[in-house]
Amino acid sequence: MKAFRSAHAYGMLPDMLRSSRGPPEQAVLSIKTAATLLCATCATQTGSGASELPYYGLSPPVYPSPVGNGTTSARWAQARMHARDMVAQMTVEEKANLTRGWPGACVGNTGEVPRLGIPALCFADGPSGIRGQEFVSAFPAGIHVAATFDRHLMYQYGRALGSEFYGRGINVALGPVAGPLGRVVKGGRNWEGLSSDPYLAGSGMGAITRGIQDAGVIAAPKHWLLNEQETRRRWTPTGHAISANVDDRTLHELYAFPFMDALREGAGAVMCSYQRANHSYACQNSKLLNGVLKTELGFEGFVVSDWDGQTSGVASANAGLDLTMPSAGFWGGKLVEAVQNGSVSEERISDMATRILASWYYLHQDKGYPPPAIYNNTEKHFPVDVQADHARLIEEIGAAGTVLVKNVDNALPLKKPKFLCVYGYDATLKASPWQNRDRYGGGYEDNFGWNTFNGTLVTGGGSGGNSPPYVVSPFHALQERVTRDRGILRWDFYSDNPPPYLNTDACLVFINAYASESFDRASLTDEFSDRLVLNVASWCANTIVVVHSAGIRLVDGWITHPNVTATLFAGLPGQESGHALTSVLYGEVNPTGRLPYTVAKSESDYGHLLSPSASSTSSSSSSLDSNDDIFPETNFTEGLLLDYRYFDHPANNKNNSLAPRFEFGFGLSYTSFAYSNLSATLLPLPPGARTRHGLAEYPDRTDTQVQGGHPALWEVVAVVRCTVINAGPVEGAEIAQLYVDGPGRDRDSPVRLLRGFVRVGPLVPGQRGEAVFELTRRDLSVWDVEAQDWRLRRGAYEVWVGASSRDLRVRGRVTRRVPSKTEAEAIRRDPITNAS
Ligand code: BGC
């Protein structure tokens, strides 16, 4: 602990003084910040010592910026070599031109070097489809993809997305998203990302990145790092952005964790975030960029700023930023000047340019990449249609990410109903045109503060939203079904008290919860929608509620009403919304969607994690948060305890007082499953064989660092298996989930962690299948803040497999033994071969 603390104590001042090279008002603020930091340093010296909290406020300096070296693979080595050769022929001005944005057709356009045949690179949003273009698809949002708990679909998603970006000549896709991770329950952008569980989010980040890059496009996982709220996310002339203050262990085990998966899969770019992290702006935070990303995680590609997220010139260059967007920011001619006067080394600017080109070569974009086909939709242009048959995949993911949370007396699936009532503003398309002609979900400029979306919600708002070619609404798809069955329909998309039709078989009520970039949500419910459900349920004995939501939506206003027979969380499904939903409602798809978050009974159950800090409405942020108008900050005092980890922790869940309404990982099926025969094995070293890393406590430090972290972290060290039987009446697949509790758990650690999930089946009634989980060294390790490394602890690892984070069916354990005296001696002589 000591080394880490002292690194903190010395760290910040040089970083901040560098950042005072901004405009005059920033320089003033930076000096004030430096003063505040000195006080924080004083606090460290008088702090009680038990927690790291008094040490917040200092981000250790890590300089110089590591030069990419291509050691990850032969492919990176070759890409790096080509890039280096090319950059060696460039003038400083040409290098600087590659590191900045220019106005152009794309959301971001780099400078070009025509003399050497280097084109401008085109960057576009976003994570769920090309935003703002015609003839492109609208895919489900990240949170919906996470709800599938299906790696295969996650990959297919990335691949299809990537092929659309490729077809339009976009070099860099701005996604996928794991920042925000979802710390703040009302966070406006949580839906763009996958889940607040880092393992689930990481599985998606890896699979989607691989998919995008297999299609030839550079993925830019974002926003690195700790961009957990929209409130005060950015610098303004009247105050700094919020500082997300986090301890070292939490930074690694929670927030950086899912990015590791994307890096491991070869991500060629990473976007740094707007806000401050431990008081230093993320796009000039040398610990985050030079330290964690480029050293520990061996990043070979380039760091691009979030749009206008650069807050200094020299400081950001030396801290590891490689490209500023969307204009020159603090660079351009100033960067040339800084190189000439020695504030930024020539090696640094060469590495910036080399990193950008290395990713370009890594994806073979130098060989016949399609020219950008990006248009302003107010002009007539040739249609470049890249949709292929992605609608089919979009429908499949739409259905797979739909979560059934209540189903009384088999209300669902529907059995060829003759008469259906369809109610609620979310059932159909809104009658008015899109608020912003390029975005279905609205641009953040015209939807500020919305709680709901007045039309069916298929995506959220802001840069993560998309531009569907069409939207199949639930009403549209239901009408197709009912027409086929020669039934009848009645509807009301307007009122919160629709007219009763007493002969109906079922009443489907559609409500939604909206969220957007640029503001956090005001509430997790809304009165109009809750009233609507209760009014229908007051007379309709078979009320089925469908919730489209950009994040967590509470349902306790009506979920226990006896006439509410079924409820579905239908997420943000993209353009095929209605088709995806009806396939579940009518039972052609037996639901396998699982909640990627915890639905509490009331807002207050989320405690200080409910609301963003530094907002006028934040109720219970930590007492250590500062709502100082100039230097707002938020302390991540909960550490690793987000979502189900928070709800399950004994400190919060005294006498089971904090039972959620629906826990993380929960979701019903039309059948049921039984679990048995769990076996868990810690892999033995092959007899006499010299394995690379075995079960040694730490990865071998003499190894070359590669992108994604030490290779040993990704080695499988344990396997858990169990049997799953379809014990119900119809065919279906189960999402079996593995949770682990490691040895030596302290009071800050979660009770158990998701560390595996697998789709078993489809199985016919009575059929059995096997769930197999492979656990890597990283899955079982903790971040050791003293050793500054991932540590595989000795002792017993309890494992559970079940249907959700609270429905744990079978249990086992593996033990990493304490070695005998002779073994200990053998380990001392040869730690790699003999450790166990
Ligand atoms: C967002 C990014 C986005 C960029 C370009 C920013 O405001 O935070 O996520 O990629 O704009 O549209």
Q: How many CB atoms lie within 10 A of CB 61?
A: 22
The closest residue, in CA terms, to atom 7 on ligand 1 is: 307
DSSP line for 768-792: EEEEEEEEEHHHH-EEETTTTEEE-
> CA-CA distance, 683 to 690, in Å (whole number)?
14
Averaged pLDDT, 85-104: 98
**Residue to mutate (ligand 1; options 123, 165, 306, 324; most atoms within 8 A of CB):** 306
The closest residue, in CA terms, to atom 11 on ligand 1 is: 307
Averaged pLDDT, 638-658: 94
Instruction: Give, to the nearest 10 degrees, the angle between helix 74-88 and helix 346-362.
Output: 130
Confidence check: pLDDT of 94 > 50:
yes
**356 confidence band (pLDDT: 50, 70, 90):** very high
The closest residue, in CA terms, to atom 12 on ligand 1 is: 463
**50 confidence band (pLDDT: 50, 70, 90):** very low
304 CA from centroid of ligand 1 (Å)? 11
Please report the atom of ligand 1 found closest to the CA of residue 175: 10
Confidence at residue 291, expressed as pLDDT on a 0 to 100 scale: 98
Confidence check: pLDDT of 685 > 80:
no
**pLDDT (tens digit per residue) in 277-299:** 999 999 999 999 999 999 999 99
Taking Cα atoms as reference points, which of 721, 700, 695 lies closest to residue 816? 695
Which residues are designated catalytic? Answer: 306
CB 799 within 8 A of CB 814: yes
**pLDDT (tens digit per residue) in 558-602:** 999 999 999 999 999 999 999 999 999 999 999 999 999 999 999
Please report the atom of ligand 1 found closest to the CA of residue 464: 9
Confidence at residue 159, expressed as pLDDT on a 0 to 100 scale: 98
Please report the atom of ligand 1 found closest to the CA of residue 131: 12
The closest residue, in CA terms, to atom 6 on ligand 1 is: 307
463 CA from centroid of ligand 1 (Å)? 6
Confidence check: pLDDT of 55 > 50:
no
> CA-CA distance, 834 to 836, in Å (whole number)?
6
Confidence check: pLDDT of 206 > 60:
yes
Q: How many CB atoms lie within 10 A of CB 38?
A: 14
Backbone angle region of 666, left / alpha / beta, with phi > 0 → left and psi within -120 to 50 → alpha: beta
**28 confidence band (pLDDT: 50, 70, 90):** very low
538 CA from centroid of ligand 1 (Å)? 44
Please report the atom of ligand 1 found closest to the CA of residue 192: 9
Which 3 state secondary structure label does DSSP give 164?
helix
- How is residue 71 annotated by DSSP? T
**615 confidence band (pLDDT: 50, 70, 90):** confident
Confidence at residue 340, expressed as pLDDT on a 0 to 100 scale: 98
Confidence at residue 695, expressed as pLDDT on a 0 to 100 scale: 86
Task: Give CA separation, 706 vs 72, 73, 104, 192, 397, in Å.
Answer: 4, 8, 35, 28, 33
SS (H, E, C) 420-471: EEEECCCCCCCCCCCCECCECCCCCCCCCCCCCCCCCCCCCECCCCCCCCCC
**Residue to mutate (ligand 1; options 231, 283, 374, 517; most atoms within 8 A of CB):** 517
> CA-CA distance, 315 to 323, in Å (whole number)?
13
Averaged pLDDT, 58-63: 91
27-36, 185-194, 620-629, 710-719: the lowest-pLDDT one: 27-36
CB 104 within 8 A of CB 333: no
> CA-CA distance, 83 to 532, in Å (whole number)?
60
The pair of structure tokens assigned to 225 is: 């790092």
Confidence at residue 442, expressed as pLDDT on a 0 to 100 scale: 84
Confidence at residue 51, expressed as pLDDT on a 0 to 100 scale: 43
Taking Cα atoms as reference points, which of 393, 460, 389, 403 lies closest to residue 154? 393
CA diameter of the chain: 82
User: What is the average pLDDT score of the chain?
Assistant: 90
Confidence check: pLDDT of 643 > 80:
yes
Which 3 state secondary structure label does DSSP give 728?
coil
The closest residue, in CA terms, to atom 8 on ligand 1 is: 306
Q: Among positive and negative, which fits the CA dihedral 336, 339, 343, 349?
A: positive
Name all residues whose Cβ lies below 6 A of ligand 1: 107, 125-126, 174, 222, 306-307, 463
The closest residue, in CA terms, to atom 5 on ligand 1 is: 307
> CA-CA distance, 144 to 194, in Å (whole number)?
7
**pLDDT (tens digit per residue) in 149-204:** 999 999 999 999 999 999 999 999 999 999 999 999 999 999 999 999 999 999 99
Averaged pLDDT, 791-815: 96
**Residue to mutate (ligand 1; options 109, 307, 519, 520; most atoms within 8 A of CB):** 307
Please report the atom of ligand 1 found closest to the CA of residue 227: 8
Confidence at residue 385, expressed as pLDDT on a 0 to 100 scale: 98
Confidence at residue 824, expressed as pLDDT on a 0 to 100 scale: 58
Work out the burial of residue 39: count CB atoms within 10 Å of its CB; fewer than 13 is exposed, 13-18 middle, 19 or more buried: exposed
Confidence at residue 627, expressed as pLDDT on a 0 to 100 scale: 65
Confidence at residue 32, expressed as pLDDT on a 0 to 100 scale: 30
Confidence check: pLDDT of 535 > 90:
yes
Confidence check: pLDDT of 54 > 60:
no
Q: Which residues contact 370 (CB under 8 A, 6 or more apart)?
A: 166, 167, 168, 169
Confidence at residue 684, expressed as pLDDT on a 0 to 100 scale: 65
173 CA from centroid of ligand 1 (Å)? 11
Please report the atom of ligand 1 found closest to the CA of residue 125: 10
230 CA from centroid of ligand 1 (Å)? 12
306 CA from centroid of ligand 1 (Å)? 6
Confidence at residue 699, expressed as pLDDT on a 0 to 100 scale: 92
Averaged pLDDT, 359-388: 95
Confidence at residue 336, expressed as pLDDT on a 0 to 100 scale: 98
274 CA from centroid of ligand 1 (Å)? 10
**pLDDT (tens digit per residue) in 471-498:** 999 999 999 999 999 999 999 999 999 9
Confidence at residue 692, expressed as pLDDT on a 0 to 100 scale: 61
